[in-house]
A and B are shown apart, each in its own frame.
Chain A
């Protein structure tokens, strides 16, 4: 699907721009990845004992797959609210630089901060990536409307996927239900691996995977935090040591 040229009358109203944004969900494979991920989250929520309404509320109001999975798996396995909150707080820090970098793309002289609240809420890794791809093709004064359309379109797809996944998990044969639950770790593993930009990210991913089973033996109740902070800090240390070597070599 191609967007209309920048000077097209199609961009004259915000409503049209909103619709073009909503239609753009059909123009990206990431929509498919999100669909699979949220299908898995729906199934995971079902098998962890949460209600469908709870699951949909988590998608609409949290709108960050990793955070939702952390909440579902930690609370579902009996961790305290505080532990889950800490793990989510740390996992969500990455949203800060995303919001910071995305807002200048659509701000104009007249833009008020409150007009950007919904954009900030909709910002997550998929939207962040798509902003860089789509926004150069959208007139600046219509970008907020376009992103509202794109973001709400993606949320709708995910709410639908949640509902389907949740319902299927309740009714599928154990074989297919197991397959659907497996969607979550697979989709997140590979999308995280794809987003690794630096050596520190790769080490954090690999060590984080390997250390969790060890940390789980401690049975501390904060296993995820223990392995995450430890693996992440080691990865950062390697990154620093390497930067130091490059400097010393130069």
Chain B
């Protein structure tokens, strides 16, 4: 059981850094919903910053990869993302096509390199 949960400290951190900052917005939406215009200027900025933060996270995983992904050379990781993006665009913005092609390039490339 202890290996399943890990240490309680990590779980407490999850609540402080993950659950609370996230749920605050949902509960505010529940309480104050109604008077907010989804296209207001403030929300445009907020959405842009949120998108850029997510983009940064995506870049972080690709540029400074964790665990097993670090065994794949830089150029192959970037190439897989680029190939996936081309497939995504060609398949009229199909997430599935993009992910599939990116994965195929990464796995085939790594397999070929040995």
Query: 1/0 contact trace for A214-234 toward B, CB 8 Å?
Result: 011000000111011111110
**Which of A67, A93, A196, A233 is the most central at the interface, judged by chain B CB atoms within 10 Å of its CB?**
A93
For A, the interface residue count at a CB cutoff of 8 angstroms equals: 111
Chain B interface size band reads 35 or more
Residues of chain B at the chain A interface (Cβ within 8 Å): 3-6, 10-11, 13-34, 36, 38, 41, 43-69, 71-72, 77, 80-81, 84-85, 88, 93, 95-96, 98-99, 102-103, 106-107, 110-111
A134 CB-CB contact with B under 8 Å: no
Residues of A with C-beta under 8 A to B36: 96-97, 100
From residue A176, how far is it (CB to closest CB) to chain B in Å? 7
Residues of A with C-beta under 8 A to B45: 232-233, 236
Q: Considering the chains assembled together, what is the distance between the CA atoms of A113 and B34 in angstroms? A: 13
Residues of A with C-beta under 8 A to B32: 100
Q: Are A77 and B64 in contact (CB under 8 A)?
A: yes
Q: Are B53 and A62 in contact (CB under 8 A)?
A: no
Which of B41, B47, B98 contacts A186, CB < 8 Å?
B98
Which of A33, A215, A235 contacts B48, CB < 8 Å?
A235
A57 CB-CB contact with B under 8 Å: yes
Which of A88, A184, A212, A233 contacts B18, CB < 8 Å?
A88
The answer to whether residues A212 and B63 also contact, given A181-B69, A190-B88 and a CB cut-off of 8 A, is yes
Q: Are A193 and B64 in contact (CB under 8 A)?
A: no
Q: Are B66 and A94 in contact (CB under 8 A)?
A: no
Q: Are A64 and B22 in contact (CB under 8 A)?
A: yes
Q: Considering the chains assembled together, what is the distance between the CA atoms of A233 and B44 in angstroms? A: 10
Closest to B3 in A: A51
